[in-house]
Structure 1
Amino acid sequence: MDDATARLLRDETEHFYDSCAASFGATRKRPWEGWRTLVPRFSCCFERAQLRGRLPLVLDVGCGNFRFERFLRGAVDEPWRALGLDSCRLLSGDPPLGSAFRETDLTHWRPAREERGRFDLVVCFGVLHHIPGTPAREALVRDLARCVAPGGLLALSLWQLQKSERQLRQARETTARFLATHPNVELDPGDWLLPWQGREDVVRYCHGFSNDECARLATVTGLDLLDAFDADRANRYVVLSAPSDEFSQ
């Protein structure tokens, strides 16, 4: 993917979220089933942090309206604190108790020195399919991995759009219209444009991950693969762990 196409797709997606934040956020209230599957791993992760004598820290990259944090608050008994990053402040609203928000352009985010190796749980749900281009997606997951504390977890969701026939049909139609008005755009395999609630004036870029791409993203993190499973009808979850330091062992 060339740089001009990547910039255009980022701009279109940013415009989508700025224009549709209220209606989009209103439909994003329920927790994902994949999160429920991960609760035992979250609990173990937090218990390890407490054994080190500190409050567990969560980094949620692409936090949206903080529905993951609200789910987590009721799903695990251990106390924790979270930092949520998102490109769209309009989605975040008021962070729930124990959570903080920072507006950040996720396509250009790089962790600060003090953020590296700091977080016991790093999650990135519903985000990577909005990042145009394989190099940019791989760069982001490498940076996510750098934020994981020794013995901590990184959990990713990778949207496999091709598994949803209804959304794939919408994507084909919207992408064809988009390319007809942007003849210089060259999409990569698996790239699509999706509409929202029948509106044709706003579209968002989405990438559908193949199984090979999911495996590749897990590999580039440099972390240990703990689990990979399908949930939520079209998500592939990848769960990785950072090596423990000597003290945690």
Structure 2
Amino acid sequence: MKQSDIDALCRLNRDFYQHHAQSFSATRQAPWQGWTRLLAHIEHELAHQTNALRVLDCAAGNLRFAHFLQRETHLKLNLYDALDITDSLLHATPHDADTSNAVPCDIRCSNTAQMPSIIQTHTIDILKAVRTNTPLPGQGLYNLAVSFGFMHHIPSSELRIRVFNALIQRCVPGACIALSFWQFMNDNSLAKKTAAVHAYAKSQPELQAVLASLEPHDHLLAWQQDYRYLRYCHHFDDSEIDDILAASSAPITEIVRFSADGANGNLNRYLLVRRM
């Protein structure tokens, strides 16, 4: 995919979340079903190494996983660096969240290490940082890196691999990296909505270049029937996940891969790997 096409798709998603951040976050309150199973594997892997978690959350959204982890983990949560491009999402925390330990910190901050807070938020264009080899913000290295609901928004397989490796490089040996891969075309309702958006996009002259840039399994989706702001999403199959793992910049071991979420339990494909 050409860089200009990647930029156009990223702008599409940026505009989508800037417009829909509040209404989108309002529907993203409860923990994902798959997180409970995933956390059990994470704790099994890390319990013998440490009792203190240092977490990097790439595209943290409204901090749902951060607060789920605060409530549910048996390990001590020492640090949680949350990254997202949309400041309004980072501040739109779930209704039941404990925000007493959350401190917002823009990427331009230089004194994050001095903030006595567990959860720190960083507003940053993650994909731009990865493309330009700009280090992701945060404090040192981590023993857990996570990214949920983000990989499907990354245009091109090459850039998805680079994001994966950016997470790997911020982890210590023995750390866990947990990802989700959206498989929305498994859901008949979402598949029908995707087809409707595609038919609409074909009728819009300003979207022809966007449609022409899409690769296999790439789609455009609307939100609450609002076709003015569309988002780019990629549906994953397991072979694409295998390709990402094969391109790892450091030795890794796959711990578990499973499907969860949605009415049929197959809306997300979860992956947990350990850096060797």
Q: TM-score, normalised by structure 2?
A: 0.81
Deviation of 1:178 (Å):
2.1
Secondary structure class of the residue paired with 2:208 = coil
Identity %: 28
Secondary structure class of the residue paired with 1:107 = helix
Distance 1:161 1:170 in 2: 10
What is the RMSD computed on CA atoms of the aligned residues? 2.0
Q: Which amino acid aligns with 1:229?
A: F
Does 2:254 align with 1:225? yes
**Alignment CA distance shift 1:113-1:158 (3 Å):** closer
For structure 1, which segment, 160-169 or 21-30, has the greater mean C-alpha deviation from structure 2 after superposition? 160-169
Does 2:225 align with 1:198? yes
Residue 70 (structure 2) aligned to one of 65, 73, 76: 73
Matching residue of 2:195: 172
Matching residue of 1:58: 55
Deviation of 1:117 (Å):
7.3
Matching residue of 1:247: none
Does 2:114 align with 1:87? no
Does 2:136 align with 1:107? no
Distance 1:43 1:20 in 2: 35
Query: Does the CA-based 8 Å contact 2:81-2:138 persist in structure 1?
Result: no
Q: TM-score, normalised by structure 1?
A: 0.89
Q: Identify unmatched segments of 5+ residues in structure 1.
A: 244-249
Secondary structure class of the residue paired with 1:17 = helix
Does 2:208 align with 1:183? yes
**Alignment CA distance shift 1:180-1:5 (3 Å):** farther
Q: Which amino acid aligns with 1:210?
A: D
Secondary structure class of the residue paired with 2:71 = helix
Matching residue of 1:17: 17
Distance 1:73 1:3 in 2: 39
Matching residue of 2:151: 128
Query: Does the CA-based 8 Å contact 1:115-1:147 persist in structure 2?
Result: no
Q: Which amino acid aligns with 1:199?
A: D
**Alignment CA distance shift 1:202-1:114 (3 Å):** closer
Distance 1:40 1:159 in 2: 21
Query: Does the CA-based 8 Å contact 1:13-1:203 persist in structure 2?
Result: yes
What does the per-residue CA deviation read over 1:61-86, in whole Å, with 9 as the maximum and x for residues that have no partner?
01000000111111113221200000
Distance 1:163 1:18 in 2: 28
Distance 1:114 1:31 in 2: 25
Query: Does the CA-based 8 Å contact 1:21-1:91 persist in structure 2?
Result: yes
Q: Which amino acid aligns with 2:209?
A: N
Aligned residues between the structures:
240
Distance 2:185 2:13 in 1: 20
Secondary structure class of the residue paired with 2:19 = helix
Matching residue of 1:155: 178
**Alignment CA distance shift 1:77-1:116 (3 Å):** closer
Q: Which amino acid aligns with 2:183?
A: Q
Query: Does the CA-based 8 Å contact 2:59-2:85 persist in structure 1?
Result: yes
Does 2:2 align with 1:2? yes
